[in-house]
Amino acid sequence: MTQHKAEYTLRTLTSLFRELGLAWKLFLDEQVPIWTKAVPLLSLVYLIWPVDLLSDPILGLGQLDDLMVLLLGLKLFISLCPEEIVQKYRRGQATSSLPAKEEIVETSYRVLDEQEHPQGQ
């Protein structure tokens, strides 16, 4: 029984970190609308806002609403992003800032000193 619980916890944490990574990539993607990017920012603002849904003096319970808002904000942000962009990142096929291999031109160059080749000659 404890092995199943440990496996479940490991899967849950792995899934959470995967979703956090996905959310970070989506947040940096220029194709995701700015209004959508406001969702994770508003979730973070809730953490520093002095008013909570559950009072913080109750140890553990007060932090539970903060965690809930962060997790719901994460899920909401990913669900509001364009589906094709989300799927592209989930499949690992997102384009990076580097050009595609077909677009790379290999070449060579040499540096000329002005003493060897003065301008105008």
Alpha helices in the chain (DSSP H): 2-28, 34-48, 61-80, 83-90
Asked, for residue 116, whether it belongs to a domain, the answer is: no
Answer whether residue 63 is part of any domain: yes
Task: Report yes or no on 70 lying in a domain.
Answer: yes
Phi, psi (deg, nearest 5) at residue 51: -100, 130
Residue 1 pLDDT level (bands cut at 50, 70, 90): low
Contact 89, 24 (CB under 8 A): no
Per-residue pLDDT of 60-105, as tens digits, reads 676 777 888 899 999 999 999 999 999 999 988 555 444 555 667 7
Q: Which of 1-15, 71-85, 106-120 has the highest mean pLDDT?
A: 71-85
Cα–Cα distance measured from residue 8 to residue 12, given in angstroms and rounded to the nearest whole number: 6
> Does 115 reside within a domain?
no
Q: What is the pTM of this model?
A: 0.64
Residue 92 maps to a domain? yes
User: Domain range for residue 98?
Assistant: 2-103
The tally of domains found in the chain comes to 1
